Structure 1
């Protein structure tokens, strides 16, 4: 959370994962390959934040870092090159 806010250009990993690259350099913890629609994960090997459009078993280990609670279908409208803004919402 210390690195927030983050921003980057959208890319796709297959059809069901959209991600953006960051300069975050961190190891992986509690890594898994199984994710549900709306999950958010960190791919430490690439320093990328990944958003899951559908349920996925990934070929790469990633660290779960959050979950979208609403409007997950908006991920389907993202196009490669769109700008992502990733921040912590405060009350």
Structure 2
């Protein structure tokens, strides 16, 4: 396999998205298709998605969506920088701390610092985009 073919395969299985935090900058995330292919497909095709940021016990930030997605390889433990989909509230979650929580579909992880997200406030607008 040549280098170009390897790069093409990588781009199909891993997708880069940006989380824009109103007035504070962006965080790069990488979606990994094999973690939750149906969830990632639905989320990626719906981009851009914007909503006000909410926080759960300072463990993760989340935005609500209109997407209906079922459980797909759900996990209950997450690390800082992980991105997951919470099916029962149709929310995309961005983890700030390591925690064990309700089952969610892990979608990927941050490729840049999540400090900006930790510094955002309730009411800021988050936009997830291609």
TM-score (norm: length of structure 2): 0.64
- Which residue does the alignment assign to 1:10? 53
The CA distance in 2 between the partners of 1:54 and 1:75, in whole Å, is 12
Q: List gaps (5 residues or longer) in structure 2.
A: 1-43
Greater gyration radius: 2
The CA distance in 2 between the partners of 1:56 and 1:73, in whole Å, is 17
Which of residues 49, 59, 78 in structure 2 aligns to 1:35? 78
CA RMSD of aligned residues (A): 0.9
Which of residues 28, 50, 59 in structure 1 aligns to 2:93? 50
More helix by share: 2
Q: List gaps (5 residues or longer) in structure 1.
A: none
State the 4+ residue runs in structure 1 displaced beyond 4 angstroms: none
- Which residue does the alignment assign to 2:118? 76
| Count, aligned residues | 87
TM-score (norm: length of structure 1): 0.90
